[in-house]
Structure formats: C-alpha cells, structure tokens
Amino acid sequence: MSADRWETLRTAAAALKNRFGERCPSVALTLGSGLSNAFGVPEGGEVIPCAEIPGFPVPTVAGHAGDFWIGEIGGNRVLVQRGRAHFYEGRTLDEVSFATRLFALLGVKTLVVTNAAGAINPDFATGALVLLTDHINMLGANPLHGANLEELGPRFPDMSAAYTPHLRELAKQVAATEGIEVKEGVYVAALGPSYETPAEIRAFGILGADVVGMSTVPEVIVAAHAGMDILGISIATNLAAGVDPNATLTHEEVIETTRVKGAEMRRLLLGILARL
C-alpha cells in the first residue's frame, strides 16, 4: 500500500470514529452478492453510504448495496458492510481490502465474511450454507504485496488457521439450534468476471476446493494479517461449471438463490452475532 493510500485509510478511519463516538465496533460483517437485501437493515443503528467515507471504493456490481450499518446486535457493537469491491472490477487489491483494513484501524477483533459461491463438491446442493475451513488463492496476487503496514501486522503472517476454529464451532451450534443444515469446505478464489470452465472446476476439485468464488480471500488475508478472528460462510448459489453438464451460469441465478436462502442465512448470522 502506498503512503497516499495509507493516509487515505487513516483519514477514513478518523472520519468514522468521529461519527461513531466513543463506541467503535468490535465485530464486522461483510455481506456478499445478494445478501445486502437478504440481511436487510436491522432495527436501530445508523446507515452510512460508502460514498460518504473518504476514499472508499463504492461497489458497482448488482446485489451489493454500497453502504454500512452500525448498531447493536446481541450486546455487540457491529459494523455491517453491505456490498464489497471486487478485483475483477479493475480495482486494485488495496481497494478490494480497504474496508477490512478500515475495520482493523477501528479496532474490530472479529470478522464474519460471506459470499455467493459455486458448488464444486458434488455433495453440496444448490443453496447449501458452507462454513469455510480454508482457502486457495488463485487470483495471482496478494493484498500484502509491497511495503508492509507494520501498524497493522507482521511482514510474514501465519495463515495456517486463518479461519478461526472456535467460530466455526459456534456457527455449528447456532445452526443446530436454528434447525439449519451447514456444510464445511475449502473456498477457492478465481479472478473472474467470467465463470470458470468445466476443466478449471475439475482442476480446483483435484486441488481440494469445495466451493469457488471471486472474492473473500483478499479480505481474509488482510484480516489475518491484522490478527482478527475470522468466520467465513458461503452460500452455494449454483453448481459450478460442469458439475451439472446441462446447466448454464448467470448472475441472476446467484441473486435469486440468495433471495430464496436469504432468510435462513440471516437467522444464522444474527444468531452468531448475538453470541460472539
């Protein structure tokens, strides 16, 4: 990250701290494609458009609302990011990870990150909720490339347990209480915006991936660098290319599946946030 971008980040954090007052959030939730509408805006709190945050990259993709909500959930001060920037939009990884670094400067200790993904694992049906155990970075880049931000974390962060095990256990407990079925799996991040080919999906499966998407990994790397606890959850909004040889892939299908499964995901997320 350049010195200019670092100063922009510090300016954005200072602006939000002034807006939040004394109680900054301890938990952040990043909502993936279609989940902004599905999660909605909780009662109380305040909505802050991304455009009002200095230097913030405003999302441009359908299904990403482009604002923040700050308020109380279960006694926790929570910041909800309703929509994200993507690498495939032509953004830099500094821009893609801007919100997550902003969370770190605000003092966030726990990040819950969600996404819409394609199911590679043949045991995962469309609409499956998947707790992420690990990831594979196929973006060809890393958000920590370049000068290290010593203020946020070490030069060589450990990624061996980036997805915090005790948070997955909490998510499974909430899911059981709510009567929600969850799977566990490995997420692979592809660059996009074209969907993957059947050959690429076969290769990802051989590598050990269960779901595929175009986000999340840069944010998780940055959050792990900053020492946050991380919970990742995917909605398998479609079967990945070639898993169903007769299927075609569209963004509209992603949004529709998220709409259908959104209430279930919302219950799961609210239950987790209330128990952190």
From the candidates 1, 13, 33, 36, give the one annotated as an active-site residue: 33
Active site residue 225: no
From the candidates 13, 65, 85, 86, give the one annotated as an active-site residue: 86
From the candidates 97, 238, 240, 264, give the one annotated as an active-site residue: 238
Active site residue 195: no
From the candidates 36, 97, 215, 234, give the one annotated as an active-site residue: 215
Active site residue 214: yes
Q: Closest Cα to residue 232, out of 269, 267, 197?
A: 269
Active site residue 145: no
One DSSP character per residue, 99-135 reads: HHHHHHHHT--EEEEEEEEEE-STTPPTT-EEEEEEE
Which amino acid is present at 112? V
From the candidates 1, 28, 36, 64, give the one annotated as an active-site residue: 64
Active site residue 12: no
Per the DSSP assignment, residues forming a β-bridge with 115 are 234
Active site residue 89: yes
Q: Tell me the backbone φ, ψ of residue 176, rounded to 5 degrees.
A: -65, -45
Active site residue 194: no
Active site residue 176: no
Cβ 270 vs Cβ 119: under 8 Å? no
From the candidates 116, 117, 228, 241, give the one annotated as an active-site residue: 116
From the candidates 128, 175, 209, 214, give the one annotated as an active-site residue: 214
From the candidates 15, 72, 76, 89, give the one annotated as an active-site residue: 89
Question: Per the structure block, which two tokens stand in for 62?
Answer: 């359908």
From the candidates 88, 148, 253, 256, give the one annotated as an active-site residue: 88
Relative to beta strand 110-119, strand 211-213 is antiparallel
Active site residue 2: no
Residue carrying structure tokens 């709190």: 45
**Cα distances (Å, whole numbers) of residue 143 to 37, 52, 55, 146, 177:** 28, 24, 17, 8, 37
Active site residue 97: no
Question: Per the structure block, which two tokens stand in for 161?
Answer: 């347990």
Relative to beta strand 211-213, strand 182-189 is parallel
From the candidates 26, 251, 256, 274, give the one annotated as an active-site residue: 251
The continuous run of DSSP H or E covering 201 comes out as helix 198-207
Q: Which residues are catalytic?
A: 33, 64, 86, 88-89, 116, 214-215, 238, 251
